[in-house]
Amino acid sequence: NVKWGKQKYSDIDVSTDEPPEVFKLQIFSLTNVQPERQKVMLKGTTIKDDWGDLKIKNGVTFLVMGSADELPKEPVQKTVFLEDMSEDQLVSAMNLLTGLDNLGNTCYMNATVQLLKSVPELDKSLQRYVNSLTGGSTGGIDESVTTGFANLIQNMKSGSQASIKPFLFLQLIYMRFPHFAEKTEHGVPMQQDANEFLTELLRICQQNLKPITNDTEQEMATAATNKQRSNFIDQYFGIDYDVELQCLDEEAKDEAVSKSSETSLQLNCFISQEVKYMLTGIKSKLKEELTKRSPTLDRDAKYCKTSQIKRLPAYLCVQMVRFFYKEKGGVNAKILKDVKFPMSFDAYELCSPELQKRLQPVRDRFEAEEEAKAEAQIAGKLAGVKKEILKKKDENIEYERFDFEDDIGANNSGHYELQGVLTHRGRSSSSGHYVSWIRRDRDEWMKCDDDNVTPVTLEEVLKLSGGGDWHIAYVLLYGPRRLEKKSTTPATGDVATTAAVPMETGTSNGDS
C-alpha cells in the first residue's frame, strides 16, 4: 500500500529485483509527484537508490511525502489534426505556396507567375510601384497590368487560401495582348507559349518599375559616375554583351572586325545532337556562324559572331530552345533530348576578360570559404562529429551584397544557384501543360501545378532534364549564390561554419 496525505493506494506490485526508481515512477503515475520530489519511507527508513536491508512483505504500507505538479490545463485552442484540416488551413499550417486555378489553358500564365514570384526583389519593386500610384493616375493598360501583377502576388503571399482564381489579371492580359485570348474552333482558349508570356510580362515591368537606387550619399556619388539603368528589370535581369563580327571569306580577310554591344533578358541554350549539357548549348549561341552582306565584297558572306558577357544580372533566365517550326503539320514541334542542367551554375567562362577580373575578388572569398568548409568536415570526421552538426541552418543569417556598389542588381561573383524551373509536358508549344518547380530551402522544392501545390524531392527536380514525355525543363531561373557576412573561426575541437552557401548537388560549370 502507498499512503500520500489523505490518499491511500492499495494492491501495488513491487519487485525488489528492480531499483527503487521504478517503484517511484509507479508512485508518480498515481500521485503526479515527480520522483525527485518524493520522500518514500517504510517504518521510519527513507528509501534511496537501493533497497538496502529492507524486508518488504505483502501488505506493508509505504509513506510518501512530496507536492504534486499542477495538472496540465486544457489547451485554449483545440488541436486540429492534418486529416481534419481544410485545404486553406493546410496551406497555412505547412507553409505551402498558394496555387492558381486554371481558367482554361492558362497553365502557361500560372507557371510564369509562380516562377517570377520567387524573386523577392521583384515583389518589393512591384509593391513600391503600387504604393507610388496616385488616385488620378492614368497610365493606361500597361499600368493596369503591372498593378494587377503586383496585387496577384500580394494575394498569393497572404497564405490564407489554398488557391486563387486570377480572373482580373487574366482579363488584363487579354486586353493588353489579344493573341493570348485566341480560341479554338470549339471556343476553348488556346494554349500559349510560357516563355513568350514571360518575355511580354517582363517588358511591361521594364516600362513601369523604376530602378533601385543606393541609400548612402557616398554610394550615390560613386554610382553617378557609372552607367545608370533605367528600370528595375534591366538591373536584375539584364545581360550585356561585347560582340565581335568577323568575315570568314578569304577574299575579305582584310575587312575590319566589327565591334558592338547587345543586351538581352535571358540566355539561350540551343539543343543539337552534340549538346548534352546546358553550358554547351549556351556556348554554341555565343559563338555562331551567320550570313550577312559584306561591305567589302558587296555580296553575302559568312561571318563568325562572337559574344562575351560583360555584365551579369543577379537573376539569370536560361531558355532551353526546345521548340522549332515543323512544316509537316504546321506546328512548333518539341525537342525531347535529355540536356543536363546544374543546380549550381558558374558563368565565369562566358564572361569577357574585363568582367572576369572584376568578379575575381568575391570568387576568391567563395573559394576560401569552400576550403574552410572542407577542412571543417575533415576535422569533424576525425573527431567523430556527426555530419548533421556541420550543416548550418539558414535562419537569421546575414549576407553580403551580391552586386557591385556601382551596379545595383548585378552579380559580383558569377556564381548562381537554381531557384526555379518552368517545365512543359507535351509534344508542341500549342498543346501540353506547363508547371513550375520552386525552391523553398536548400533541398526543399515545391511543385506548382496550377492549384495543386505539393512538396517534391531534389531527385524529382533533377529528372526534369528531358529524354521522354515527362515534364521537361523549358525555362531555368538562377539566383545569386550568397556569401555570409561573418564566418566563425573555430577553436580547437570546434566545428567551423562556412560563409558560403553552396548547393550540395550539381556541378560548378555544368559540363563536369
Residue 393's SS3 state is coil
Distance CA 57, CA 191 (A): 86
Residue 423 domain-assigned?
no
Residue 179 domain-assigned?
no
CATH of the domain at 48: 3.10.20.90
Set 107, 205, 247, 317: catalytic member: 107
What's the average model confidence in pLDDT over 197-224?
Answer: 77
Task: Establish whether 107 is a catalytic residue.
Answer: yes
Q: Where are the beta strands (DSSP E) in 231-327?
A: 239-247, 258-264, 267-270, 287-294, 299-311, 316-321, 323-326
pLDDT class of 280 with cuts at 50, 70, 90: very high
Given this model, what pLDDT does residue 467 score?
A: 86
Residue 44 domain-assigned?
yes
Closest to 153 in 3D by CA, of 112, 102, 204, 203: 112
Residue 211's SS3 state is coil
Residue 182 domain-assigned?
no
Kindly tell me if the per-residue pLDDT of 69 is higher than 80.
Answer: no
Given this model, what pLDDT does residue 505 score?
A: 37
Given this model, what pLDDT does residue 450 score?
A: 96
CA angle, 228 then 230 then 236, to 5°: 85
Given this model, what pLDDT does residue 223 score?
A: 46
Start-to-end CA distance of the chain, whole Å, equals 75
Residue 17 domain-assigned?
yes
Given this model, what pLDDT does residue 481 score?
A: 94
Least confident piece of the model among 55-69, 179-193, 317-331: 317-331
Residue 511 domain-assigned?
no
- Its domain, for residue 38, covers 2-65
| Higher pLDDT among residues 295 and 221, named by residue | 295
Distance CA 392, CA 309 (A): 34
Q: Which residue has the cell 572569398?
A: 365
Given this model, what pLDDT does residue 136 score?
A: 53
What's the average model confidence in pLDDT over 40-53?
Answer: 86
φ/ψ bin of 111: left (φ > 0), alpha (ψ from -120 to 50), beta (otherwise): alpha
Q: Rounded to the nearest 10 degrees, what angle do helices 107-117 and 194-208 cross at?
A: 50
Given this model, what pLDDT does residue 268 score?
A: 95
DSSP string, 59-95: T--EEEE-PPPPPPPPPSS----GGG--HHHHHHHTT
Residue 10 domain-assigned?
yes
Kindly tell me if the per-residue pLDDT of 219 is higher than 60.
Answer: no
- Spatial neighbors of 512 by CB under 8 A, at least 6 apart, are none
Distance CA 99, CA 117 (A): 12
- Length of the chain as a residue count: 512
Given this model, what pLDDT does residue 153 score?
A: 95
Number of domains in the chain: 1
* pLDDT tens figures, 345-387: 999 999 999 999 999 999 999 999 888 888 888 887 666 655 5
pLDDT class of 323 with cuts at 50, 70, 90: confident
Given this model, what pLDDT does residue 227 score?
A: 60
Whole-angstrom CA distances from 476 to 110, 134, 176, 316, 349 are 16, 36, 26, 8, 19
Kindly tell me if the per-residue pLDDT of 273 is higher than 70.
Answer: yes
Grid cell in block for residue 76: 485554449
Set 424, 433, 448, 471: catalytic member: 433
DSSP H/E element including 190: none
The mean of the pLDDT values for the chain is: 85
* % residues pLDDT > 70 (the chain): 83
pLDDT class of 217 with cuts at 50, 70, 90: very low
pLDDT class of 251 with cuts at 50, 70, 90: confident
| Beta bridge pairs of residue 233 | none
Kindly tell me if the per-residue pLDDT of 489 is higher than 50.
Answer: no
* pLDDT tens figures, 429-451: 778 999 999 998 777 899 999 99
Residue 489 domain-assigned?
no
| Beta bridge pairs of residue 417 | 344, 479
Distance CA 321, CA 309 (A): 19
